[in-house]
Amino acid sequence: MAKDDITIYEIAKEAGVSPATVSRVLTNSARVSPAKKSMVQQVINKYHFQPNAAARSLIDTRTHIIGMMVADIRNPFYASVVVECELAAQRRGYTLVLCNLLDDQQLENRSLENLYAQRVDAIIQIGSRVDDRCSDPDYVNRVRRISQRIPFITTGKLDGVENCWRINLDQRRSLSIALEYLMTLGHRRIAFLGGRWDVSSTWIMRQSFIRFTKAHQLYVCPEYIVDSNYNETGGYEAFEKLWAHMPQPPTACICVNDFVALGVYKALRDHGMRIPQDMSVMGFDNTYLARLAEPGLTSMDYDYPAFGEQLISLSLAAALDQNPPHLQYLIPQMVIRQSTAAASDQLL
């Protein structure tokens, strides 16, 4: 065979691999086993193969599309992250394709398979089953299979998926910052409202809350930790449960997100209580809801522009086989507004 006429298809045939594997070797991809890489490289060296322009176009199989799956775009946390990811992708010449999962596991499965079929360059997922405290084996297997071809990036966790990158929102540190701040205001009876134990991020927050309150000898009772959905109705119902069963009223409430905090606002007003004079309230995520609330809601912030930039940068680094760290952190910050104040002397 004349070396000038050889193509990646002949290279693949002689090496006993697929043309896609030859392409990965030529682009120095990390997703080729050392044994296969050695076989392909031997054939390449044998023919002194240099891909021409047409071959290079076959080698570059990127679509310049990033798939993004979020639990529910109606939640302003997810909406804020999506907007910043889209802006960061556009700055790099990439298109972001959004899949809204709506708490539907069948839709989640179809969305994942559709993104795989489109051969997107990377898949980002925030929320839904990647945030399960106990990973769903069926979903883990799906992601494991797909991540062999397409990098998978998440803020949650999936046990047993090797080709997966994570950005940790560091809920433990967030809780510590929030509780330390409330302690400086004199609060010793603090409730944690909203969320579910089976959601990994909420479970981490609650465990951190329990450890911190015990370590700092704050007032602790089971009634101060209340389950609910993650919306405004959930927040209202969580406070009603707290009100009905609490042995002593807390002087402050930490809410799992800003949506829940708005529900707590409404419940407090229905009971004739003032914010923050009678009870301080804190939220998480620092969405537009925190700015629009009256009084303004103190909330933990994740710096959405930096968050979106980090997600897209990590996705592209993984897609281009640059071997980025598999675990990265996003450092939270607190935005103080008018919903928190010194603990009322009458409630101490």
pLDDT (tens, 9 = 90+) of the chain, 348 residues, equals 555 578 888 888 899 887 778 877 877 665 677 888 888 899 888 888 877 655 555 555 678 999 999 999 999 999 999 999 999 999 999 999 999 999 899 999 999 999 999 999 999 999 999 999 888 999 999 999 999 889 999 998 887 787 799 999 899 999 999 999 999 999 999 999 999 999 999 999 999 999 999 999 998 889 999 999 999 999 999 999 999 988 789 999 999 999 999 999 999 999 999 999 999 999 999 999 999 999 999 999 999 999 999 999 999 999 888 889 999 999 899 999 999 999 976 554
What is d(CA 297, CA 258) in angstroms, rounded to the nearest whole number?
8
Q: Residue 284 contacts by C-beta under 8 Å, 6 or more apart in sequence?
A: 174, 254, 255, 256, 257, 258, 299, 300
- DSSP H helices in the chain: 8-15, 19-26, 34-47, 53-59, 76-91, 105-117, 137-147, 171-184, 200-215, 232-245, 258-270, 288-292, 304-319
Collapsed DSSP state (helix, strand, coil) of residue 64: coil
Residues of the chain with CATH 3.40.50.2300: 65-170+304-332, 171-301+334-347
What is d(CA 298, CA 123) in angstroms, rounded to the nearest whole number?
33
Give the predicted TM-score (pTM) of the model. Answer: 0.81
Burial of 347 (0-12, 13-18, 19+ CB in 10 A): middle
Q: Side chain identity at 76, as an amino acid letter?
A: P
Q: Which pLDDT does position 153 carry in this prediction?
A: 96
Residues of the chain with CATH 1.10.260.40: 3-59
What is d(CA 285, CA 301) in angstroms, rounded to the nearest whole number?
5
Q: Which two tokens stand for residue 195?
A: 């969320």
CB-CB contact of 67 with 112 (8 Å): no
- Look at the block and give the residue holding tokens 């050889």: 6
Which residue from 260, 292, 261, 259 is spatially nearest to 276, judged by alpha carbons? 261
Maximal C-alpha separation, the chain: 92
Q: Which pLDDT does position 264 carry in this prediction?
A: 98
Q: Which pLDDT does position 241 carry in this prediction?
A: 96
Q: Side chain identity at 151, as an amino acid letter?
A: P
- Look at the block and give the residue holding tokens 């303004």: 296
Q: How far is Cα of residue 302 from the mean position of the Cα atoms in its chain?
A: 11
Q: Which pLDDT does position 19 carry in this prediction?
A: 75
| CATH number, domain 171-301+334-347 | 3.40.50.2300
What is d(CA 158, CA 205) in angstroms, rounded to the nearest whole number?
18
Domain 65-170+304-332 bears CATH identifier 3.30.200.20: no
- Look at the block and give the residue holding tokens 């010194």: 342
Topology of domain 3-59, per CATH? 434 Repressor (Amino-terminal Domain) (1.10.260)
